[in-house]
Structure 1
Amino acid sequence: MKYLVGLSPDQGGREALALGALLSRSCQGSLVVCTITPDTWGPPSPARVDGEYGEFLRQNAAKALDKAKASLPADIEADFVTVAAPSARDGLLKVASDVGADCLVLGSSRVASLGRFAEGSVTTDVLRSAHVPVAVAPRGYSADARTQVRRLSCAFSGASTSPGLARRAAELAQLLGVPLRLVTLVVRDKQMYPTGAGYDVENIVSNTLRQQASEAQSEVIDKWDSPVPVTGEIGDGKTWKAAFDSVLWANAELLVVGSSNLGPLLRVFLGSNSSKIAHNSPVPCLILPRHEE
């Protein structure tokens, strides 16, 4: 596996670097760390301002890469590249194609709460265009040297596409040599003004969805033919955060999330629920491109 870390000069770049190092170490993969600088404008100006600006951008990128090299754990080797491109998305996707990356690794926007993930403009663009899985690190994420991924969890909704997502997650778990857990989240979101049916009926609906998800989990587990050990668990709460907090998360765990069915095939695309999962997860998320099941 080859992981491409999109390095930004802020703290989000260090979070992505920490996650990239963890993933690389966990499967004896390789790591490429990339900074993107904007293309300078067309013909040179008489005052050579464009050249000076371009040199400033290159120096800034070089400093970011030097810091990244210094902060990488001693057991992790990486290639470091700087590419000029019309946009960060274009540059990252081009480098991913050029180096044959199996996964893109990105950090969180600074607007996220500590320990949670939020999309910045670059991540949003990449998530709408990437043909490879995208791993995202929560704000403030770090991993101790020599730590490896200890478990994969799979966001399991019980929909018709869930068994296929579980199988793909199992392939990754086998590659990493870790067990797999199917996690379903039931959110009892009590708004100030409920629907005309009232809170009691909404709870009945939530309980029915929970039962259906539990049965779907059991069906997948009963028919499980992968060598990867699998378990199931259901989180339940009044909010997405509460539902996540009702489940125990291991140190160095990764949550696998499927792309929305509304997105194009073989692309990463966060729908409403998958976006809420990624934004509220206390552990890094690995978002897989949509496959036809």
Structure 2
Amino acid sequence: MIGEHVVVGYTHDSGGREALAMGAAITRVTGGELTVATVYPPKSPGLAVEAQANLAHAAMRLGDVPAEYLAFESRGAGRGLGVLSSRIRADLVVIGSAAGGQHGRISVGSTADHLLHLSPEAVMLVPDGYEPPEDPERLTLMYVRRPQADEAVERVAQAALRLGVPLRLVTLDLRTGEDDRLRDDLALAVRLAWESSGLEAEAEIAEGFDVPAAMQAIEWLPGELLVCAASEDAQAHRVFVGEAAVKVVRASTCPVTVLPRGYA
């Protein structure tokens, strides 16, 4: 299950603090390891010192929460977090929303953009101002029928079973006129969830003229966690999100996790 080893991309701002709180909440539930990392550019001794200072701030915020703290040198934050997560065999990278975005939503900055198109591990993005609850309340998978999404159904169903929370499968209907096909696809996904975990998943089709409108039509619990599968264009064992999935991420009011292709 995702969360056995979590890397938090920490920056000394609100996004970094929210990612830190989310990473700590995840490992508290899963019992996994937590690594807090700050990335700084090569040949920048001043920024290397600043990175260590940022990690000291993170340690103060976490208090007694067990964690490892790493300053990591890389040409970019997204690249560095991806390389580090592979190197230490983490299974999830958590980052906050980029500065300047809408409160309660996810702003995709350069770090998130790199991870959403090349990360070797699952990526979680946390909305601006988000405060994680004590426990998750439900896992929701954004479902579109294709091999990666079917694979995600099985994985997320197993995670919901282990966490003891309900599973919901949601399909967006952007007024395509294919209502019957979408219902049939969703019914097959519900059956797949049952066969792989014994869980009876909720199923929902959300209608809207565009992705933000459809997302707004969905009811979200305070402890909801949203999961998306990688695009068919993703390389094996890499995250890659398409245009529609990026719109889902930006419209979400809860943390979003994107699985790499071939996640196991």
Common topology (TM > 0.5): yes
Question: SS where residue 4 of structure 1 aligns?
Answer: strand
Alignment counterpart, residue 67 of structure 1, candidates 41, 51, 57: 57
Q: Work out the number of aligned pairs and report it.
A: 258
The correspondence of residues 21-100 of structure 1 with structure 2, limited to 5 A, is 21-40=24-43, 54=45, 56-72=46-62, 74=64, 76-100=65-89
Residue 32 (structure 1) shift: 0.4
Structure 1's 162 and 58: CA in aligned 2 closer, same or farther, altered over 3 A?
closer
Distance 1:162 1:104 in 2: 20
Distance 2:125 2:251 in 1: 12
1:213 aligns with 2:172: no
Which amino acid counterpart does residue 278 of structure 1 have in structure 2? V
Residue 159 (structure 1) shift: 4.1
Structure 1's 4 and 109: CA in aligned 2 closer, same or farther, altered over 3 A?
same
Which has more radius of gyration? 1
1:109 aligns with 2:98: yes
Question: SS where residue 128 of structure 1 aligns?
Answer: helix
Residue 124 (structure 1) shift: 1.3
Which amino acid counterpart does residue 68 of structure 1 have in structure 2? A
The correspondence of residues 162-241 of structure 1 with structure 2, limited to 5 A, is 162-188=149-175, 206=176, 208-222=177-191, 224-225=194-195, 226-241=197-212
Consecutive unaligned residues of structure 2, counting only runs of 5 or more, are none
Distance 1:28 1:118 in 2: 29
Consecutive unaligned residues of structure 1, counting only runs of 5 or more, are 41-52, 189-205
Residue 82 (structure 1) shift: 0.9
Structure 1's 83 and 159: CA in aligned 2 closer, same or farther, altered over 3 A?
closer
Distance 1:22 1:187 in 2: 34
User: Does the Cα contact within 8 Å between 1:18 and 1:141 map onto a contact in 2?
Assistant: no
- Normalising by the residue count of structure 1, what TM-score does the alignment of the two structures yield? 0.81
Distance 1:134 1:81 in 2: 18
Residue identity (%): 31
Question: SS where residue 118 of structure 2 aligns?
Answer: coil
- Normalising by the residue count of structure 2, what TM-score does the alignment of the two structures yield? 0.89
Partner of 1:12: 15
Partner of 2:127: 138
